[in-house]
Amino acid sequence: MKTDADNMGFEVAGVEPTTAHSPLEENSPEKRLVARANEVALVYKGREIHVRDITLDKNGFLVGQVSDFTNVCTTQYEGLRLGQTITFRHPHVHHLVQPA
């Protein structure tokens, strides 16, 4: 099963993990991310896409709402719109976004 980010071609940050783990395990990277991140940056077609309100769904995918497109003054960008809910995996996260 693929996420929205996989299907749309979001960039993967670094190398995919080689060890298998369950995203639903108590100390998984996904659970740690949900616990400490208010907003994360993903990269799509050369632009940072900020996603907030991150949760973990029953399949172990991260879920959040698109909140910003960097360096683009619009409510939509290449098929994404502000407020849209998307699913993604931990390797799609390039960095955490600190509040201004």
pLDDT of the residue at 18: 56
pLDDT of the residue at 15: 66
Q: Which residue ranges of the chain lie beneath pLDDT 50?
A: none
Q: Which residues make beta-bridge pairs with 47?
A: 44
* Closest of 68, 30, 26, 19 to residue 48, by C-alpha: 68
What is the phi/psi pair of residue 29, to 5°?
A: -55, -35
DSSP, collapsed to helix, strand or coil, labels residue 17 as coil
pTM, to two decimals: 0.85
* Closest of 77, 3, 93, 85 to residue 41, by C-alpha: 93
pLDDT of the residue at 20: 64
pLDDT of the residue at 85: 97
In tens, the pLDDT along 62-79 reads 999 999 998 777 788 888
Spell out the alpha helix ranges (H) of the chain. Answer: 4-8, 29-36
76-77/80-81 β-pairing: antiparallel
Is residue 52 within a helix (H) or strand (E), and if so which, with residue range?
Answer: strand 47-56
pLDDT of the residue at 100: 52
